[in-house]
Amino acid sequence: MLSVLQLRLAFNPDFLYNREDVSACAAVVRGDRMTSHSITERVKRIRSVTLWGVFLNVSLVVLKLLSGILIKSSALIADGVHSFSDLATDFVVLVGTRLSSRPADKTHPYGHGKLETIASLLIGVVLLVVSFGIIWSAGISIYRHEHRFPGFMVLVVAAVSVVSKEILFHITRKVSRITHSAVVYANAWHQRSDALSSVAVLIGGIASLLGWGHADQVAAIVVGFMIIAVSGKIFFDGLLELSEHSADSESIQEIEKVLSNEMNVFGWHALRTRKLGGELIVDVHVLVDPKLTVKESHEISMKLELEIQERLSRPVNVLVHIEPDMEERRKRRE
């Protein structure tokens, strides 16, 4: 069985003595199309939307906490704490993206993409801790028979939060889809959970105006359970990625179409995929005419890599193993 690297060595064994050729060949073998320019653009997009989130969250934290303290609203204070956790996770995104975008090195030959996944797990943990704290605090308040009537101001603050956070959610989610960033996607849902929690505060504020003394605390508990649901999804998705989970079925189908439509490929097997941060790792074994030259086989592998890159909307790291289509090999696999 010949790998792409072996084909390159056979075609030009002297390339190992040229540093530039080594780097170029390494990029070819990995199917590495994530150029320094594309990586920089990706980081810029993530950094830009996250910094906007930082600005908004700082404003909302100050507004909610000060208002909540002034009008004695536990739901609004809880919502302010939630916005503060948003602010904390914004910094996790910035640091995690910066670390994960570092180029591959001797100790991390596949890059540092897993750091982005770890950052998303941290967001999930932070959300979980915050949610339990909110539920506990509101539950204790109800147990003590504390009645809260925060007044009309809670409605204004909650409405501002809902509108601004929902806008930020849609913008952040769009960036996460463009960059295929798990940590940005997690942060987008963290922003939406803040918007949903503000909806609960809004409803609780209306109920309190109608005379229900525990509406504020009940709204805080609802907010807490909303956050638990979001944190669970983020944490589960992160664990799947760390456990080397395969790509989504749609991406796999696109890869299979490319392999099946190539007329010079007589068969393929051992297709494997896994996610590495914003990148998709793909390796596959293909069967070609054993009479082909090394150069012709190499061209087939390069063609497949480029077509897979073009079919998928995310950065893809492709490795194609070339095998001669021989009867004894087919029987051995069967």
Tokens of residue 209, six digits: 């105006």
The answer to pTM > 0.75 is: no
Q: State residue 169's pLDDT score.
A: 92
- Of all residues in the chain, what percent carry a pLDDT higher than 70? 81
Dihedrals phi, psi of 265, to nearest 5 degrees: -105, 120
Is domain 36-242 given the CATH code 1.20.1510.10 in the classification? yes
Residue 145, pLDDT > 50, answer yes
In this structure, is the dihedral angle defined by the CA atoms of residues 67, 69, 73 and 78, taken in order, positive or negative?
A: positive
Domain boundaries of the chain, sorted by first residue: 2-13+246-333, 36-242
Q: State residue 142's pLDDT score.
A: 84
- Of all residues in the chain, what percent carry a pLDDT higher than 90? 5
Residue type for 107, please? T
Buried b (16+ CB within 10 A) or exposed e, 12-51: eeeeeeeeeeeeebeebbbbbbbeeeebeebbebbeebbe
Residue 287, pLDDT > 50, answer yes
Nearest of 187, 198, 167 to residue 238 by alpha carbon: 187
Largest CA distance in the chain: 86
In this structure, are residues 183 and 97 in contact, taking their beta carbons and an 8 Å threshold? Answer: yes
Average pLDDT, the chain: 76
Is domain 2-13+246-333 given the CATH code 3.30.70.3270 in the classification? no
* Structure-model confidence comparison of residues 18 and 215, the more confident one: 215
Sort 122 into a burial class: Cβ within 10 Å, 0-12 / 13-18 / 19+. Answer: buried
Q: Residue 323 is inside which H or E element, if any?
A: strand 316-324
Least confident of 113-117, 183-187, 280-284, 299-303: 113-117
Identify the band that residue 232 occupies on the pLDDT scale cut at 50, 70 and 90: confident
